[in-house]
């Protein structure tokens, strides 16, 4: 059976992009290899991605609690589910231990043979569709481009291209067994692409809570072993741990760290999860403080140039730099304290010259 994907569409120019402006630019690990792929390839991938998603939905093959690349799901739906579970447990006089797993170069180490075997055995992709995936994945070439200086083309033997349409979906299929491991250990989980959230309720008595803590530690160890055997690497240095609960419960439990194999990961007072900051009491105060800090910074800069730009341009800047931060996952702010909401409302008067602009586009209710 001859199924082909043109070699000309499997050539990518890779541009290293710094992950964060604050990171050391001399460290290669701080760069993300983003592939510039031919537009025709992306159009074909879009069609194939749509067909695969239809196949997964029709045959009920989606991973439970995977919110990436699913209709009516998003990072906000993943966080809402997590928030609902945490608040429900706290209402029932329990605390919650959350572990956020981090992978090193997650998209870059996928083994094609393992992926194709899993696509066939777990997701029922066979025949011409499987042959097409094989042709799409293998014999790819990439050329690193820095400041218009291009390296010699080299073969891509592992990984899905970052910047492709199909790559992220294939990654979620590749890592689907992580959900099986969590379920086997009785650990709650929610996935969003390569972001894995594992959490368990803790009884607020040290003996029982220690046993529950051990169950999630064993789960993480098995996930780490599975990742090693599947050419993935769990990065314990960037794995975050937090315990949610009342102040009294947190003092009584006094959990300082979680053991992941030979690494002891400290318990944090706040963590960043899918772009949102969560604090140990789940008051969303860290998230609100971050929104305010970023909003005031950008509003101040926009205010300095307001007299040089028209209203439409000012609205565009405020919408993209300020309102986008306030609107992102704002359903998590339901039920927060009045003082916290007041903080968010103050941004409208932080720059008097921008008040008409802010008033015209604001989605927050002003009292």
Query: What are the contacts of 116-120 at 24+ separation with CB within 8 A?
Result: 118/173, 118/174, 118/176, 118/177, 119/170, 119/173
Distance between CA atoms of 166 and 50, rounded to whole angstroms? 9
Cα distance between residue 306 and residue 212, in whole Å = 55
Are residues 344 and 288 in contact, defined by beta-carbon separation less than 8 angstroms?
Answer: yes
Alpha-carbon dihedral 84, 123, 158, 103, rounded to 10 degrees: 20
Nearest CA to 54 among 123, 107, 4, 132?
123
3-state secondary structure of 351: coil
pLDDT given at position 355: 53
* pLDDT score of 366: 36
Q: What is the pLDDT along the chain (367 residues), one digit of tens a residue?
A: 567 889 899 998 888 888 888 788 888 878 888 888 899 999 999 999 999 999 999 999 988 898 988 888 999 999 999 999 999 999 999 999 999 998 888 888 999 999 999 999 999 999 999 999 999 999 999 888 888 788 888 898 999 888 889 999 999 999 999 999 999 999 999 999 889 999 999 997 767 788 899 999 999 999 999 999 999 988 888 899 999 999 999 988 888 999 888 888 999 999 999 999 999 999 999 999 999 899 888 888 888 888 888 888 988 998 899 888 888 998 999 888 888 888 777 765 555 555 555 555 554 443 4
Residues of the chain above pLDDT 70, percent: 93
Share of the chain above pLDDT 90, in %: 50
Which pLDDT score is estimated for 53?
93
Under 8 Å between Cβ of 1 and 128: yes
Predicted pLDDT at 359: 56
Which backbone phi and psi does 348 adopt, to 5 degrees?
-70, -25
CA distance 285 to 279: 7
SS3 119: helix
Tens digits of residue pLDDT in 112-140: 999 999 999 999 999 999 999 999 999 99
Residue 202, CA distances (Å) to 80, 249, 250, 252, 352 in order? 20, 10, 10, 12, 48
């Amino acid at each position: 059976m001859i199924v082909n994907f043109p070699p000309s569409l499997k050539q990518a120019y890779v541009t290293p992009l710094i992950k964060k402006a604050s990171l050391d630019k001399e460290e290669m690990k701080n760069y993300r290899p983003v592939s510039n792929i031919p537009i025709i390839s992306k159009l074909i991938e879009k069609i194939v991605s749509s067909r695969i998603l239809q196949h997964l939905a029709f045959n009920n093959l989606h991973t439970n609690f995977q919110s990436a690349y699913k209709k009516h799901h998003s990072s906000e739906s993943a966080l809402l589910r997590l928030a609902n579970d945490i608040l429900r447990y706290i209402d029932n006089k329990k605390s919650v231990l959350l572990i956020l797993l981090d992978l090193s170069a997650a998209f870059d180490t996928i083994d094609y043979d393992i992926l194709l075997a899993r696509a066939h055995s777990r997701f029922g992709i066979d025949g011409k569709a499987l042959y097409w995936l094989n042709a799409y994945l293998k014999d790819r070439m990439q050329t690193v481009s820095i400041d218009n200086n291009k390296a010699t083309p080299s073969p891509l033997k592992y990984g899905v291209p970052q910047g492709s349409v199909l790559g992220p979906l294939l990654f979620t299929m590749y890592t689907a067994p992580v959900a099986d491991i969590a379920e086997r250990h009785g650990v709650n989980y929610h996935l969003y692409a390569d972001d894995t959230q594992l959490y368990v309720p803790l009884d607020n008595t040290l003996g029982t809570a220690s046993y529950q803590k051990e169950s999630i530690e064993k789960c993480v160890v098995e996930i780490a072993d599975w990742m090693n055997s599947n050419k993935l690497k769990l990065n314990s240095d960037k794995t975050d741990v937090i315990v949610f609960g009342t102040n009294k419960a947190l003092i009584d439990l006094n959990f300082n760290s979680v053991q992941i194999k030979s690494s002891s990961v400290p318990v944090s007072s706040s963590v960043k999860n899918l772009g949102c900051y969560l604090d140990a009491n789940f008051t969303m105060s860290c998230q609100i403080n971050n929104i305010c800090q970023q909003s005031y910074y950008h509003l101040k800069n926009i205010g300095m140039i307001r007299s040089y730009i028209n209203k439409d341009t000012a609205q565009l800047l405020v919408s993209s730099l300020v309102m986008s931060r306030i609107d992102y996952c704002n359903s998590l702010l339901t039920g927060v304290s009045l003082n916290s909401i007041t903080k968010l409302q103050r941004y409208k008067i932080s720059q008097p010259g921008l008040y008409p602009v802010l008033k015209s586009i604001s989605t927050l209710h002003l009292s």
